[in-house]
Structure formats: C-alpha cells, structure tokens
Chain A
C-alpha cells in the first residue's frame, strides 16, 4: 500500500492483516514503485494524492514497465470523490475516500480471488 497518511495506513494494515493478508506500507511514490519492482505484490493499493509523485504518475510508470507481468499488477486506487476520471483510467478498481472497512475488505477479496 502506498499511502502518505499514517493513520489511514495503520487502520488498513490492521484490517487486512486480521484477514490474513500481508501488507507492506510505503508513504511516498519513489519508495513505493521501487518496492513494487522488488516485492512483486499481488495487489497495489495506491493513494492518488501523494507527495512528490502522484498516484496517477506511479500507475503510468507501472503500466509502462517492460516486464508484462509487473506492468499488469492489479491496482486499487484510492481517490477523493469527484477527482478526474482520467487520473484513474489505468487502475483496475477505484474506491472513494472515506470508505467503509467492509467495503475495502470485500474489494480486496474480489481482486485477490
């Protein structure tokens, strides 16, 4: 998960860890994209508004990776309601903040099978 708000990240980590998932947290885009390359996660939860590099920039870079498997990594984008659709067109799923914990759990289950 790439999210710069520590309390949101902490809550999400608690919920998903309790469901049995392993969640790695990164609070900026640079570290996040490196971690995706290194750890090859099954799912990326990506905040749209991040310092230094926005979520949409990170997503574009990921989709442009030479390794097709890495480029196709599923991405769940977290946005503010009403933010431009263009910024999230490459995401596999989009969830508006604030979200219900159960909504997030169900979405992750759907995406990870």
Chain B
C-alpha cells in the first residue's frame, strides 16, 4: 500500500485537481459536462480565428492556452524542457486530424468522456468501450513493433513555437477581442471568466506535465505493460467528478437520453472513440498529453495539435461533427441526432487510414531490422 501511494500519489492528486477544476469551470459558466474538453476547446479556437464557420462553437478558450503555458513553465522549472522534433511529423499531423474527427463525432476527447461519465451520461460509457477497443488495437500494433521513428534534438526556438503561438493568441484575445469570432449562443457562448479559466488551466497544465497524466497512456500501459499507474489519474477524475456532481446536485441518474451536448447513436459514439483511442496510442498520448508535450518543447506534438485543429476545421466545414440529440418532440417522442452521411464516410475512411498507418510503420520496422 505504501509503495502504491509512493508510485501513484502525484497522478492521483493531478486527477483529483483536474476533476475539481472541471467542476469549478462548469459551475462558473462552461457547458455542462465540459469543464474541460481538449477537442471541443481546440475546435472553439479554430472557429474563433475563422477557420470554420459553425457559429455556436467559436471562442478563444483560455483553458487550451493555460494548459500549454502551464506545462511549459513546469517543464522549464523542472529542467524537462526538451526541444525535439522529426518523428514522422506529417503522419502525426494526419493522425491528429483523424483523432479530432473521431472526437467530434462522439462529442468529446477522452477527458470529456470521463467528465460525461461522471455526469451520468451512459453514452460516454459506450464511448469508453470504443476508446478501450481503439487503444487495444493500437497496443497490438505497438507490440508488433509500431513506432513513428525517433525524434532529434532541435533548436530551442522549435520547442517554443506552440507556447509562443498560445501566448500571442491570449494577448490578442485580451487586447483586441474584436479580431475574433465569438459565439452568441450555443456551447461557444458558455464560458467561465477568462482569467479564472486561464489560471485554473495553468495549474492543470503544470500538474499534468509533472505527473504525465494521459488517458490513452493509462489504458495502453494497463493493457500492454500491466502497469496501471497512469490509469489511476483517469479513475481519480471520474470518481471526483461523479461525487462532485452528486454533491452539487448536477447528477440525477445514469441515462442515455437528454444528456448535455451528447447524442445517443451508440454505433457512432463507439466508432468515434475507437478512432480516438487507436490514434492516440499511435501518437503516444491523448489530446491533453499532446498539449502538455508541445508545451514541454516537443515539436512533433505541436504539429499533432495543429493537425487536430485542421481536423476540427474539416469536421465543421464538411459537416462531420455531430450535434446533440434534439430530445423530446411535441408528441413526446425522443428524437436522436441524425449522424450525417459525411460523418459515417469519414469515420470509415479514418479507420482505414489508421490501419494503413499502423501496418506501414510496423512493416518499416521489420525492414529496418
């Protein structure tokens, strides 16, 4: 037991802080079950700068900026800032885009999946099943020798690219807000006060950097290495959010229906998160971890984040992103959101591309051996 706490206390504390932070940001104005959502918030930023025109999801989310800068500061303090790049950046960009598309079909990244689970949304448990299946497939390829090649030391400036982009974005959002699109209704219009969200995210980013918190890593290491260390962080988030929602009166019951910013098309929730789990394992970390690594100087993760942002623009411009269930109609029947044909085709294509990327990089390794 002593050994357990010695090995896992930091990741558990980080999970607890992330859970409390999510509840706090939700109470202060963020959408329900969306105290944090890396995919949704990156998508909101993409909309704010005009790269997609979905009016309901445009806002410069300070949470993303804070996580990158918090991890950057912590990496510098802890002498863990490493400017590195060169590990298949184009592949990472593409897989990052696919992960975003999968997340937006499901309506959330793995972190929001945990928050939705803790809010009683059973659709997120379907998403969890998909995420675990995806991570398992990615893990099988890792065991067969998949990797995206080594990175090399880069100039220090390379490591600061994403933190500086975030710093400039934040400064512009504060000083010249008229530059950006801002939602007047919908999820993008719902947000906690800017400086509070930024401060909370700084702490989360710093702790996530120190503890290596990663939802995909938790599932991957448990399945592949029988090492549940990172998984305890995810468990802590879920437990804290569930208990917190019950205490705060946000929780009514576990249900598939009428969940906040969620739909109940099980197959597409499942497949969307298969893409996220599989892609995240290939990339070496979930969307949160990619932000943290990019803040710690990893140029490949910075490219992945930019790929995710490109994926968000595609998802909304090509009508791949899902919407919430409309709910009860006038005659009292529950109406589900209709996942678009474009989204179904995109999910199928994404699965094929992930398979090709996985196979090609296993074969490359075999040829090199």
- A interacts with B: no
Chain B residues at the A interface, C-beta cutoff of 8 Å: none
